[in-house]
């Protein structure tokens, strides 16, 4: 009889012990809990798209700025782009079609002006990691072609046999005087010989150049 009685009251005893230890207490919300519940996480700020490491992909209506030359252009949709202080780059990939637009400071002294152009060209070539054919040099006095784009007179030179990631293609060298006393445009465009889509994207980017 004692055994049966003990078995019967054992569950009740456990409940009593649990209650004594704090079981079945009503939930109470402290001030700290309430404040915590009201905190809303602020989304991170949008990227500035100043470096390719940010992986900014151009949208259909993206307008990229060329800060040093006070110009804008439309990168091809889905291309990665970066608006640096000196140059703006847009590329389909690290190995594919690419454009870069920068600037240089013109000089009335012909020799100094040529030096400024050559230096800007060297920096642009490094920025997009292309290798022009050996011995390539731009004859700044004689452009191979000229093109008017949104009121900007572009001088154009080409370098067939340029390589990027072991793929050969044609490098376009672009130069354009802008407003008096302001930096002039110097840019490059490249696409492999077998990349028709890349060629078209480069051409459209160039044709979209506008002064701010």
CATH code that applies to domain 52-211: 3.40.1000.10
- What are the DSSP E strand ranges found in 24-135? 64-66, 71-73, 80-83, 88-91, 98-104
Q: What's the distance, Cα to Cα, between the start and end of the chain in Å?
A: 99
CA distance 157 to 118: 13
CA distance 54 to 64: 15
3-class secondary structure, 12 = helix
Q: What are the domain boundaries of the chain?
A: 2-38, 52-211
Residues 6+ apart with CB under 8 A from 165: 94, 95, 96, 129
CA-to-CA separations, 194 to 16, 191, 197, in angstroms, rounded: 83, 8, 9
CA distance 75 to 97: 11
pLDDT at position 35, please? 55
3-class secondary structure, 204 = helix
pLDDT at position 180, please? 85
pLDDT at position 32, please? 55
pLDDT at position 16, please? 35
Q: Are 155 and 146 in contact (CB under 8 A)?
A: yes
pLDDT at position 30, please? 56
User: pLDDT tens, position by position, for the chain (212 residues)?
Assistant: 433 433 443 443 443 334 444 545 555 555 555 555 567 788 888 899 999 999 999 999 999 999 999 999 999 999 999 999 999 999 999 999 999 999 999 999 999 999 999 999 999 999 999 999 999 999 999 999 999 999 999 999 999 999 999 999 999 999 999 988 899 999 999 999 999 999 999 999 999 999 98
Q: Which residues, in sequence order, are bridge partners of residue 57?
A: 80
CA distance 184 to 155: 12
């Amino acid at each position: 009889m004692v055994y049966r009685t003990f078995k019967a009251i054992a569950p009740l005893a456990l409940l009593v012990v649990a209650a004594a230890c704090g079981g079945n207490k009503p939930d109470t919300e402290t001030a700290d809990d309430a404040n915590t519940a009201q905190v809303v996480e602020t989304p991170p700020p949008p990227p500035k798209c100043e470096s390719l490491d940010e992986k900014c992909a151009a949208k259909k209506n993206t307008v990229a700025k060329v800060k040093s030359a006070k110009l804008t252009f439309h990168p091809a949709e889905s291309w990665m782009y970066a608006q640096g202080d000196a140059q703006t780059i847009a590329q389909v990939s690290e190995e594919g079609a690419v454009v870069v637009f920068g600037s240089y400071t013109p000089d009335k002294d012909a020799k100094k002006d040529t030096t400024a152009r050559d230096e800007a060209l060297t920096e642009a070539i490094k920025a997009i990691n292309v290798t022009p054919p050996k011995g390539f040099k731009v004859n700044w006095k004689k452009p191979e072609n000229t093109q008017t784009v949104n009121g900007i007179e572009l001088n154009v030179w080409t370098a067939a046999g340029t390589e990027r990631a072991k793929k050969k293609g044609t490098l376009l060298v672009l130069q354009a005087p802008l407003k008096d006393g302001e930096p002039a445009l110097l840019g490059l465009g490249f696409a492999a010989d077998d990349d028709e889509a890349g060629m078209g994207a480069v051409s459209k980017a160039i044709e979209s150049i506008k002064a701010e």
